[in-house]
Amino acid sequence: MNQEILSKMTKAIKQFNLIEDGDTVAVGVSGGKDSLLLLSALAQFRRFGIVNFRLYAITVDFGRKDMDFSRVVALCKSLDVPYFQEDSNIYDVVFNIRKEKNPCSLCAKMRRGALCSAAIKHGANKIALGHHSDDLIETFMLSLLYEGRLSTFAPKSLMTRTNVTVIRPFVYVDEKEIIAESHDLPVVFNPCPANKHTKRQEVKNLIETLKQTNPIFKDNIFGALTNPNRNNLWQDD
């Protein structure tokens, strides 16, 4: 495991009190590189013994039969992390019943709800998601450009209805660092028809274009969001 990634993750955990003694943390494992690397990193962090907590992995099945999680099961076994898979009909609802033209919002909402229910069922009080610094910036840009709001996600947020806390330990980690470390991970093929055809992908492309004329564009956005002296959108715990 790349020490820089572990260092950035540990910084976020300590700065925002993401994981505390006695917590039971369920990692939402989609099968993508971000969640799989987060699972591996948290398993290694647990071995350090800095914080005494329990760690689970939970996959909310998208409802497609062509997604094979057998290698994810093997990874969890090698990490000594209990793994649970929850069935769902999300794909059918989003694409066949509702026939959403912009499916990502409904899909994400349904998957979060199913993940939260599964976490509660298995005794977790925190859900860890693999969102990284690029996701933070893209979410900000999506809100600004398509909703007219200055908004993005926080490193830690309490879902008051369920009393489950969502944490994002990779908030300081860049996507390029995850890509460089993900070659040996058992990434599951994503069969979603909307993959690479979303507003988020459009924003990714826009950011890359803006970086050509302003190479520090991403750094400036991230700094504006996270620096407490610049009216940032989230605060230290």
- Per-residue tokens: 106: 């409904």
pLDDT at residue 234 tops 70 = no
Residue 237: predicted pLDDT: 61
In whole angstroms, give the CA distance from residue 91 to residue 102: 13
Strand 156-159 and strand 126-128: the pairing is unpaired
- Which residue, 100, 63, 104, is CA-closest to 85? 63
156 in Cβ contact with 18 (< 8 Å): yes
Is position 24 within any domain? yes
170 in Cβ contact with 34 (< 8 Å): yes
Could you say which DSSP state residue 170 is in? T
Q: Which residues contact 130 (CB under 8 A, 6 or more apart)?
A: 27, 28, 30, 32, 34, 35, 36, 37, 38, 168, 170
* Mean pLDDT for the stretch of residues 117-144: 95
Q: How many domains does the chain have?
A: 1
pLDDT at residue 209 tops 80 = yes
Is position 34 within any domain? yes
- Per-residue tokens: 182: 């993900």
In whole angstroms, give the CA distance from residue 42 to residue 212: 35
Residue 235: predicted pLDDT: 61
Residue 233: predicted pLDDT: 56
pLDDT at residue 203 tops 80 = yes
Residue 91: predicted pLDDT: 73
29 in Cβ contact with 72 (< 8 Å): yes
Among 40-44, 67-71, 166-170, 192-196, the minimum mean pLDDT is found in 192-196
Is position 41 within any domain? yes
| Cross-strand partners of 24 | 54
CATH number at residue 134: 3.40.50.620
Is position 236 within any domain? no
Higher-confidence position of 134 and 95: 134
| DSSP per-residue letters across 57-77 | EEEE--S-TT---HHHHHHHH
- Per-residue tokens: 198: 């979303």
Is position 235 within any domain? no
Identify the domain containing residue 98 by its residue range.
3-230
Residue 92: predicted pLDDT: 75
Beta-sheet strands, E only, within the chain: 24-28, 54-60, 83-86, 126-128, 156-159, 164-167
Among 4-8, 119-123, 215-219, 230-234, the minimum mean pLDDT is found in 230-234
Higher-confidence position of 183 and 95: 183
**Residues of the chain above pLDDT 70, percent:** 93
For the stretch 105-111, contacts whose Cβ atoms lie closer than 8 Å and that sit 24 or more positions apart, written own/partner, are: 107/192, 107/194, 111/60, 111/62
Residue 112: predicted pLDDT: 87
CA count, 13 A, side-chain hemisphere, 44: 14
Is position 93 within any domain? yes
Residue 96: predicted pLDDT: 76
- Identify the band that residue 110 occupies on the pLDDT scale cut at 50, 70 and 90: confident
39 in Cβ contact with 63 (< 8 Å): no
For residue 23, which amino acid is it? D
Residue 230: predicted pLDDT: 55
Is position 237 within any domain? no
pLDDT at residue 117 tops 60 = yes
In whole angstroms, give the CA distance from residue 129 to residue 136: 12
pLDDT tens-place string over residues 49-76: 999 999 999 999 877 777 899 999 999 9
pLDDT tens-place string over residues 26-48: 999 999 999 999 999 999 999 99
